[in-house]
């Protein structure tokens, strides 16, 4: 048994321990990526080995939170992939407008950049009172960050550019106040946003959604978990609803693919077909 095998074994034990002790299930995460992130975490944490870290994790909920924070990828941009948001604005929102109240799920919302982008989009389209956004992530601390609606000033130039590329028609600066190296966004933007902790690997779905955004989350998962995730989304998406994935993610070869039609080819927006009687 060489060192690498041992590390793999230890990681398996760690993952199982974290799952049993704290409910965070990383067993469905793509192992290469998970290993890279765990190794990076271990280097930072000061433990000699995963074995030692596991034993500490079992007893220390705070340490576990730190681990979750480090292991999950929490980097995002506002209006990331501007063509996507452009397509969202042009192709998807007109459909959502036909619902008196539309429900949107941002699964894996991380620091809330995407939620904020979406909220801005909805306000500009005059739909902010008509839509409720459910923003979930398994990482409580990033949720807390997301709730504040505050972002680093240094990123704002990039965001502004993204916003413009995404078809933004107003002055981006109308939405925030910049001070002390931070940009605080209008809290009213988040009035219709419900932030909640939700673990895509273990938890059940919400009730019916018209739009689900889960971008650049699935790439970190193993195929089985991807399937679970997609069937979760499929289960709560109403017929005619939209599923948005990251640019590197696709529904090809997935079990739910036949019920979905790709809307705007390069940006991975899928629409659930009306065919199946999903009213059950």
Partner 1 sequence: MKALFYPAINLMGRLRYAHKFLLLGLLALGAVVLLQVNLYQALDRVIEPSREELLGLEAMVRLNRTIQLVQHDRGLAAGFLAGNKLLAQRQQAKAAEVDAAFLRLAEALPPEVLAAARWREVSGDWRALRQFGLEWPQQTNTLRHEQLIAKMLTLASDVADASALTLDPDIASYYLMDVIVKLPFFTERLGQTRAFGAAILARKVVTEAERLQMASLLGHTRIARDLQTANLEKVVNYNPALRGVLGSLDQNVDAGMRIALGMAQDDIIDARFGISSEQYIEQFTNLIDQIYAGGSEVLAPALRDHIERRIDKARTGLAWIVVLSALACALFAYLAVGIFLALTGQIQGVLHTLRTLSDDSAERAQLVEAIAAGDLSREVHEPPALEMGGLAARRDEIGALVGAIAAMSAAQQSLGRGFARMARTLRLHRDEERQQDWAKSGINALNIELRGERALPELTQAVVSFLTRHVGGAVGALYLHDAGRQELVLAASHAYTTGTAPRRQFAAGEGWAGSAVRSGAIEVLSPVPPGYLDVASALGQAGPAAVAAVPLMHNGELVGLVEIGTFGEFDAPRLAWLRQAAEAVAVAVGVEHARRRVANLLEQTQVQTEELLVQQEELQQSNEELEERAQLLEQQREVIRQKSAESEQASRELRRKADELERISAYKSEFLANMSHELRTPLNSMLILSSLLQQNKEGKLSGKQVEYAATINGAGKDLLNLINDILDLSKIEAGHVTLELENVALGDMASQLQALFQPLAEHQGLALHIALAAGAPAQLRTDGQRLLQILKNLLANAVKFTAQGRVGLDVRVCQAAEAGGQGRTGEALAFAVSDTGVGVAPEQHERIFHAFQQADGSTSRKFGGTGLGLSISRQLARRMGGEITVSSAPGAGSIFTLYLPLDAGAVPAAPPPAPDTARAPAIAGFAVPAGAQPGAAARASAMAMAMEDDRELVLPEYRCILIVEDDLSFARILRDTVREHGFQAIVACDGEDGLALAERYRPNAILLDVMLPHIDGWGVMRSIKDNPATRHIPVHFITCLEDRQKAMGLGAIGFITKPVSAQQLDEVLDSIGAAIARTDKRLLVVEDDEAEAMSVAALLETDGLDISIARSGGAALALLAQGRYDCMVLDLGLSDMSGFELLDRLRDSACAPQMPVIVHSGRSLNEVDEARLRRYADSIIVKGAKSPERLVGEVSLFLHLVESSLPQDQQKMIRRALDKEAMFEQRKVLLVDDDIRNIFSLSSVLAEKGMHIVEAGNGAEALAQLQAHPDIDIVLMDIMMPEMDGFEAMRRIRREPRWARLPIIALTAKAMLGDQKQCLDAGASDYLAKPVDLDKLFSLMRVWLYQAGEVA
Interface ranges with partner 1 (CB under 8 A): 22-24, 30, 32-33, 36, 73, 75, 94-95, 97-101, 103, 130, 132, 134, 154-155, 191-194, 196-199, 202-208, 216, 219-220, 223, 239-240, 246, 248, 253, 258-259, 273-277, 279-280
Residue with Cβ nearer partner 1 (13 or 65):
65
Of 12 and 258, which CB lies nearer to partner 1 in the complex structure?
A: 258
Q: How far is the CB of 269 from partner 1 (least distance, A)?
A: 14
Backbone angles phi, psi at 218, to 5 degrees: -65, -25
Joined tokens for residue 225: 């978990």
Non-local CB neighbours of 168 within 8 Å, separated by 6+ positions: 79, 120, 124
Nearer to partner 1, 36 or 44 (CB): 36
CB of 157 to partner 1, least distance (A): 11
Q: Which is nearer to partner 1, 49 or 129 (CB)?
A: 129
DSSP code string of 68-113: HHHHS-----TT-SHHHHHHIIIIIHHHHTTSSSEEEEEES-TTSH
Q: How far is the CB of 164 from partner 1 (least distance, A)?
A: 19
The distance of closest approach from Cβ of residue 87 to partner 1 in the complex, given in angstroms and rounded to an integer, is: 14
In the complex with partner 1, the residue whose CB is nearer, 21 or 52, is: 21
Residue located via tokens 């925030």:
176
Considering only CA atoms, which of 222, 227, 229, 240 is closest in space to residue 204?
229
Query: Could you tell me the smallest distance in angstroms from the CB atom of residue 205 to partner 1?
Result: 7
The least CB distance from residue 196 to partner 1, in Å, is 5
In 3D space, the residue among 41, 48, 28, 35 whose CA is nearest the CA of residue 67 turns out to be 41
The minimum distance between CB 177 and partner 1, in angstroms, equals: 21
Other C-beta atoms closer than 10 Å to the C-beta of 102 total: 21
Rounded distance between C-alpha atoms, residue 217 and residue 253, angstroms: 18
Q: Which is nearer to partner 1, 204 or 265 (CB)?
A: 204
Instruction: Please tell me the distance from the alpha carbon of residue 48 to that of residue 7, in angstroms, as a whole number.
Output: 12
Residues 6+ away with beta carbon under 8 Å from 231: 255, 256
Task: Rank residues 4 and 279 by Cβ distance to partner 1 and give the closer one.
Answer: 279
Residues 11 and 53 sit within 8 Å (Cβ to Cβ)? no
Taking the C-alpha atoms of residue 184 and residue 37, their distance in angstroms, rounded to an integer, is 30
């Amino acid at each position: 048994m060489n060192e690498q095998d041992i590390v793999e074994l230890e990681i398996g034990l760690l993952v199982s321990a974290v799952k049993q002790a704290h409910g965070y299930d990383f067993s469905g995460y793509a192992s290469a990526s998970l290993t890279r992130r765990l190794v990076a975490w271990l280097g930072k944490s000061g433990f000699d080995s995963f074995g030692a870290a596991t034993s500490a994790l079992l007893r220390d909920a705070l340490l576990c939170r730190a681990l979750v924070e480090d292991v999950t990828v929490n980097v995002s941009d506002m209006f990331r992939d501007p063509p996507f948001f452009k397509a969202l604005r042009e192709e998807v929102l007109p459909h959502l407008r036909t619902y008196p109240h539309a429900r949107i799920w941002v699964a894996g919302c991380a620091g809330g950049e995407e939620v904020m982008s979406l909220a801005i989009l909805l306000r500009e389209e005059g739909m902010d009172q008509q839509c409720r956004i459910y923003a979930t992530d398994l990482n409580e601390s990033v949720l807390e960050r997301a709730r504040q609606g505050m972002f680093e000033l240094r990123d704002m130039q990039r965001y502004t550019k993204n916003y413009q590329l995404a078809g933004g028609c107003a002055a981006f600066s109308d939405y925030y106040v910049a001070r002390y190296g931070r940009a605080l966004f209008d809290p009213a933007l988040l009035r219709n946003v419900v932030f909640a902790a939700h673990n895509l690997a273990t938890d059940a779905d919400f009730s019916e959604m018209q739009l689900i955004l889960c971008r650049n989350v699935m790439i970190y998962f193993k195929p089985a978990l991807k399937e679970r995730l997609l069937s979760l989304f499929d289960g709560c998406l109403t017929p005619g609803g939209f599923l948005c994935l990251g640019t590197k993610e696709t529904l090809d070869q997935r079990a739910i693919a036949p019920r979905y039609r790709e809307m705007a080819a390069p940006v991975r927006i899928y629409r659930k077909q009306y065919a199946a009687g999903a009213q059950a």
